[in-house]
Structure 1
Amino acid sequence: MSDEPRPRPQYGEYATPEEQRAAIRKPVPEPVAAVDPPHPPTAPATTVAARPTRTADRVITLALLGYGLITVISAIPQLVDFTEFAKTWMTVAGVEGEFTNTGQGALWGGIAATVFAVGWLLTAGFAWLSLARGRLSWWIPLVGAIVTFGIVSVCLVVPLFGDEGIMRGLAFGG
């Protein structure tokens, strides 16, 4: 043991509850009369009025679903006419030549259009259920769009990269 004095305790380290209340100037609670029985803890509110409304979440979710619907409605005709879609894609990608894989293009374009429509319907359904249950829902249209676009992209790549002219154009840099 050393002769040095012990360090002074930090605030509240050794203080009793009464000393702590006195230090923060909080009055001592009144003692409860022995006649009153203790009340059980109250349960959380279960009424609809007690739930948060989340108006911003509703507005954002519905706006994202609306934007997605416009995107799907405008994309479906382009995907159904896949040959024209492929020509436009080739021009944007800088690929010389002509799209000749029309049979696969028509098949996969129809599949992509169907995936787009079903993806939006599923996303809207999940978002609607989530909104009805009062849960945060803004993320559902975003995740639905990412998943749907991923699947549609695969459907579009199959006929595009199955075309000899496109593969030749990509291999030789246009």
Structure 2
Amino acid sequence: LESVKFGHELTCLGNLYPVTEEVAADDIVNNEIDSYMFQTVGSEVIPLIAECMEKPLIRKPINGTSENQNLFYNIAEENKDEVEDLYALLKEAKEEYNIEAVSSGAILSDYQRLRVENVCERLQLISLAYLWQRNQSELLDSMIENQIDARFVKIACIGLKPTFLMKSIQDMRSE
């Protein structure tokens, strides 16, 4: 939404999903992997989102792991880090759809932002991070204002209750 607001055209969507999704698409518990980089809960519905948006979708399984957990990412020979799965996905998007930039939703995580920037730099793509360090309350209000029907699919922080699961951000804003 922010990228479009700033004049960028949405060409395609990309999604990395856990290998377990291929085996157990209906088993949300097994679809979550121990990743420092990617949120995978709910990834099985991404094709439906792409269909609703009428945009092509490139999907690839996450085969790597969080091998390099340092803040700054450097690729090593025979690297099996999950970041290289992102590289492969974006390389395919660049070749197939001639993308020039990548929009990510990193808000506060230097770890994630720096890895997206690393991959973009290696592929000569521009990293768009319009949400970076924005006030989280303002972002939430903006999503509600723009009628985004975002739902809680995972509870993983202090202050959120299990009863929030599958509720909309609009319904839970006052909590």
Give TM class, smaller chain.
Answer: under 0.3
TM-score by length of 2: 0.22
Greater length-normalized contact order (CA 8 Å, ≥ 6 residues apart): 1
Q: Choose 1 or 2 for highest CA Rg.
A: 1
TM-score by length of 1: 0.22
Which structure is higher in strand share? 2
